[in-house]
Amino acid sequence: MDLPQPIIKNYAWGSRTALARIQGRNTPSSSPEAELWMGAHPAGPARVTRGGETVTLQDVVAGHPERELGADCAARFGGRLPFLLKILAAEQPLSIQVHPDRNQAREAFAAQLAGTGRGPYTDDWPKPELLCALTPFEVLAGFRTREEAARVLNGLALPALRPVAALLEADSGAAALTTALRALLEWPERTRGRLVDEVVRSCARLARQAGPYAAPYEAVTRMARHHPGDIGLVASLLLRHQVVEPGAALFMPAGGLHAYVRGVGVEVMAASDNVLRAGLTSKEIDVPELLRITDPSVRVAAVRPRLLPGPGTTHSYDCPAEEFALHRIALSASPTPLTPASGPRVALCLDGSALLSGPAGDTLTLGPGASCFVPDSDEGVTVQGTGTLFVASAGSPALDASAPLTRTV
């Protein structure tokens, strides 16, 4: 078992209090702290001490993949730790985005390397995500139904948007949603600013009324303070607006358009950087590639924790991701087997104190906000203490899994 030094990502949308409070540091922090990374992702690998030397967890795994990951996990993922565990603290909205599936990522990245493809692909991995809320977490997740999206746009009573709503009303298929999205993202530059301003003003008026869409209209007015003039503010109204309550989670599959608006949560994701953006960003928006990857039929799934049989109180957040799984353990004075029992695991003590014990008598104590890496070679680990422990691990093999995922840059 290793006690790594996690990596804090200081993105502008982060909080100056959330991560510091979890870790017991003084608040406010000197700069926004958006994400706490606990893993071996190439863009921010945690550092561990092995044999008296400080090295990255990425190098540790690469040096002895079968020992650290287990033979099955090492073979499936080309010797890489396939997941990244985070605490995410959003005080401002993140970009509207979508991620490719496994085959799309492979093909697009290979084409990009060959100079025949397009898109901002950095590796050949998919990037499914699971977000477990620690506070009420506001999200835009998946498209509304075609009919509801038309009602939301028509509710603004803006003549300029009537043709977009008509696209939704005229077609009976889900593809009408991406047709409407294209119409907004390709809105002429000369009138785009005026449209966004009219939408924001109309949303502010409607948010003060007790209508069925007051909450998403109000969200647009808030997001406009951080992204003035962004056409993504209009596009956000095509997406389902919801607040995830603490303890519940959302699974973000490939092709599902989404954005995190505000809140604090534990996130586990495949260790990839493949992101295509649709708005609320200053970064490039490749509309054709975005629409090729976006699947309007995807419904972002709510995930309720499932109590596992056996000793202790361990819940699993079930989702169809080969790269990761997430468990939550309510700690007690009695030792509880660490779940899962084998494979690579990253354990995060969210609050309280956790004592992990190995079969050889080795122990490791975690305080609030601390995490540890448990390699496959450490089997039979138990945990006890107070508070809550999250455990990320590799997921189960996909039924249609083919060649292992290997490449990253």
Encoding tokens for residue 103?
């085959």
Token output for 34: 């958006």
Say if CB 352 and CB 331 are below 8 A apart. yes
Q: So what's the pLDDT on residue 285?
A: 93
* Residue corresponding to tokens 């200081």: 10
406, 400 contact by CB (below 8 A): no
Give yes or no for a contact between 315 and 305, defined as CB atoms under 8 angstroms apart: yes
Task: Give dist(CA 14, CA 22) in Å, integer.
Answer: 14
Topology given in CATH for the domain delimited by 306-393 = Jelly Rolls (2.60.120)
pTM: 0.93
pLDDT in the model for residue 51: 82
- Exposed e or buried b per residue across 205-221, where buried means at least 16 C-beta atoms within 10 angstroms of its C-beta: ebbeeeeebeebbbbbb
Among 277, 292, 328, 345, which one carries the catalytic annotation?
277
Residue 144 a catalytic site member: no
16 by Cβ neighbours in 10 Å (0-12 / 13-18 / 19+) ranks as middle
Would you state the pLDDT for residue 299?
86
Where exactly are the structural domains of the chain?
7-140+245-292, 145-238, 306-393
pLDDT attached to residue 277: 96
Position 397 scores a pLDDT of 85
Residue 52 has a pLDDT of 86
Distances (CA, A) of 264 to 88, 157, 261, 267, 287: 6, 35, 10, 9, 30
Which pLDDT value is given to residue 408? 35
Q: For residue 123, what pLDDT is reported? A: 92
Give CA–CA dist 212/377, Å, rounded: 54
The confidence score (pLDDT) of residue 407 equals: 38
pLDDT at res. 404: 47
- Residue 225 neighbours by CB under 8 Å, 6+ apart: none
CA–CA dist 68, 70 (Å, integer): 6
CATH homologous superfamily for the domain 7-140+245-292? Jelly Rolls (2.60.120.10)
Distance CA(231)–CA(241), nearest Å, equals: 17
| pLDDT, one tens digit for every residue, the chain (409 residues) | 999 899 999 999 999 999 999 999 999 999 999 999 999 999 999 999 888 889 999 999 999 999 999 999 999 999 999 999 999 999 999 999 999 999 999 999 999 889 888 778 999 999 999 999 999 999 999 999 999 999 999 999 999 999 999 999 997 788 999 999 999 999 999 999 999 999 999 999 999 998 999 999 999 999 999 999 999 999 999 999 999 999 999 999 999 999 999 999 999 999 999 999 999 999 989 999 999 999 999 988 899 999 998 777 999 999 999 999 999 999 999 999 999 999 999 999 999 999 999 988 899 999 999 999 999 999 899 999 999 999 999 998 874 434 444 433 3
